[in-house]
Amino acid sequence: MWLPNNHVDKKEGGNGIVALAIDKDKNSQSALKWCIDSLVKQGQTVLLIHVKIKPPVFSQSPSLSNPRSNPNWDQHLVCKDPDPQTKELFLPFRVYCTRKNIQCKDIVLEDSDVAKALNEYVTQSAIEHLVVGASAKTGFLRFKISDVPGNVSKGAPDFCNVYVVSKGKIQSRRSASRPAPSISPIRAPVRSHTPSAKSEPYVFPPSGMKGHEKPPEPHRKSHDEMENFRSPFTRKGPNGKSYADLPMPDTDISYVSSGRPSIDRIFPAFYDNLDSGRITPPRMSNSTEIDLNHSFESMQYFGRRSLDVSSSPPTFSSVSQDSDRLSSASQMEDVEAEMRRLKLELKQTMEMYSTACKEALTAKQKAVELQRWKLEEERRLEEAHLAEEAAMAIVEKERAKSRAAIEAAEAAKRIAELEAQKRINAEMKALKESEEKRKALNALQHSDVRYRKYTIDEIEAATEFFAESRKIGEGGYGPVYRCYLDHTPVAIKVLRPDAAQGRSQFNQEVEVLSSIRHPNMVLLLGACPEYGCLVYEYMANGSLEDCLLRRGNSPPLSWQLRFRIAAEIGTGLLFLHQAKPEPLVHRDLKPGNILIDRNFVSKISDVGLARLVPPAVADNVTQYRMTSTAGTFCYIDPEYQQTGMLGVKSDVYSLGIMFLQMITAKPAMGLTHHVERAIEKGTFKDMLDPSVPDWPVEEAMKFAKLALQCSELRRKDRPDLGKVILPELNRLKGIAEDTMHHTLIAGDSPSSRHSQVSMQLEGGEPESHSAAS
């Protein structure tokens, strides 16, 4: 009956024999721990039982089929000489028991059925408590075929308590239904056992003594009686030795595991003496306690079971004086005949065994040869398979190469088609652009004039017939007059009749300015085409050159205004370079061509030298070649002077020179060299315009370095106007506007003084205005 329980009182195992079935798994260790904690007291002895698996024997002797009927069962079951691996298995359990002050005894059983061996041993030894470890799956992992704990619980005797322990807890329990036998062959050895450094496997008492019987006490005979009658095997043979003193084997010999045993190796001395004709076996007493027939049957059965002669030597007890008188010669002859018969049967059995071994060896050799042939065939098959795989790999590789070549050819074909299509598209686009350009030029030539035409009479009346008092400057191609047209102050630039390129210059400027509208470009109000007169808006504060050189005793420009004017010039110049349909290059950018109105807003003027160039001119690589250079010497791009190649970065060079003049107020000749030397020597502050006392030196230094980059001799070293120059100028402009805002709040602003000066100039003060110098 199974009774699950998690705790067992130690009183249950206090007086009875406690045994533990162990194996290599961890559940055996946890079962030992539970056993010591729950069943065993300190000083008590625990039997550690291990069943060593032995291959099953299919034919058994009838005398050994029942363990109770076989007196030698316990000796055949118990392994008397365990191997080192089995001994090592007991080591951790013994160490743990020693640490817990528990004595232990090692028992090694050898059988093909683990549960059966345990149950038979428990029955034979009258063990009252048996602890078995169970794994998480099917009990012992080693015995996966059968449920060992379940079979043990079912087959154990009814006087034994069986505990199945899993992970330190009782998984199941089968209680005993009756008390155990009071007499046990192992009870006295267990109680008298003392722990030693190395515990040897326990060996049972002689097989002639059953488990529930006390060993018979031999009759005490007198010396005379012992001399008059002795056991037949105590008589000496011709060699001076008794039959009981003949040498026996020291260890068990297994019939199955031995190589090619022979009767001479098993009993060498014994059968040597038997072979000698001088030995006459004595008669045996009828009252001896040795069952001779059973001993002979055990000798005949040694082919299946281990033959252990040393463990079960024939024991002969002394008999009474009457036994000698009862022996007879006929009985002695029967014994001798039986011994000869057994010897003959044993020799025949050994011959049969030798023949079987030879046949087994031959079969083994054939099996080895067959295995070798099989391995050779497998190797050949594997080589053929590998060769086939290699061939398939080569074929697949060639297919991949073929596919790759086909794909590459198709890709090249597609690329060629795309290139051809691109070329066709480019040609069509070029034709379309050429047609659009032609249409634009034709439309420009035949379109209505976008400016107001003035007659020569209106021009003469306004300028008082070009009076000297109205003249405010001299341009590159003629004088400039200040007057009023339509009640608006204007500046009229008159083309000189003796100018060789005057007419073409006039037409060019009219075409350009009539299509330009920008806050930083001088506005063209009208023209008189017949006499070459251009009418511009009037700029009250003159040119940037006049302000820097303080002509007419004008106040100096503050650094805030200079930074703002620089940003405005860059913005207007970028507008020219991005003009559509084609970029415009100014070619004569200088302070004299930068005009400032009454609000100190700067505007670019004098685009008379500006040329319409193809769009590729705006690129940094492709340039437009001019037949003759034009512009002011110090401001002209050196590469343009040498090669006549015109580009948008030609204006960037002029812009850099002009920026240096804005912060130094010095002439343009050699200015870049002086500024670079001052920066290297650390005297840059001395180069700044002294009329401005509050220069921000750090920002002025950045402005000067930007100007030096713009004035590089090589065009490719100059920065881009839209991506590099203008963002930096706008940053400086923002700083200037922030500073100017705080100054206006304080009420002391240079710009306010500039406004007052401009108002005075408009009221009749002497004016200085230059349209071109």
Complete DSSP assignment for 395-444: HHHHHHHHHHHHHHHHHHHHHHHHHHHHHHHHHHHHHHHHHHHHHHHHHH
Would you tell me how many other CB atoms lie within 10 Å of the CB of residue 67? 19
In angstroms, the CA 664 to CA 669 distance is 12
What is the arrangement of strands in the sheet containing 478-485, beginning at the earlier edge strand? 452-453, 524-528, 533-537, 488-494, 478-485, 471-475
Helix or strand or coil: residue 307? Answer: strand
Task: Give the dihedral sign, CA 657/663/667/673.
Answer: negative
**Beta bridge partners of residue 547, listed in sequence order:** none
In angstroms, the CA 716 to CA 714 distance is 6
Please tell me what DSSP assigns to residue 593: G
| Structural contact between residues 127 and 35, judged by C-beta atoms closer than 8 angstroms | no
The alpha carbon of 705 is separated from its chain's Cα centroid by a whole number of angstroms, namely: 51
Question: Exposed, middle or buried: residue 511 (CB in 10 Å: 0-12, 13-18, 19+)?
Answer: middle
Residue count of the chain, please give it.
773
Please give the single-letter amino acid code of residue 333. E
Helices 671-681 and 648-664 pack at an angle, to 10 degrees, of: 60
Query: How far from 337 is each of 1, 288, 331, 343, 488, CA to CA, in Å?
Result: 55, 19, 10, 10, 166
Q: Take residue 263 and report the two structure tokens written for it.
A: 């009767």
- Intra-chain end-to-end CA distance of the chain, in Å: 129
| Structural contact between residues 572 and 522, judged by C-beta atoms closer than 8 angstroms | no
In angstroms, the CA 758 to CA 761 distance is 5
Q: Which position among 74, 588, 651, 689 bears the catalytic label?
A: 588
| Structural contact between residues 33 and 96, judged by C-beta atoms closer than 8 angstroms | yes
In angstroms, the CA 339 to CA 329 distance is 15
565: part of which helix (H) or strand (E)?
A: helix 559-577
| Structural contact between residues 486 and 559, judged by C-beta atoms closer than 8 angstroms | no
State yes or no: is 588 an active-site residue.
yes
In angstroms, the CA 593 to CA 475 distance is 10
Helix or strand or coil: residue 721? Answer: helix
Residue 713's contacts (CB-CB under 8 Å, 6 or more residues apart) are 638, 639
Task: Give the dihedral sign, CA 247/248/249/255.
Answer: positive
Complete DSSP assignment for 2-20: B---S---GGGGTSS-EEE
In angstroms, the CA 734 to CA 567 distance is 10
Q: Which residues form the catalytic set?
A: 588
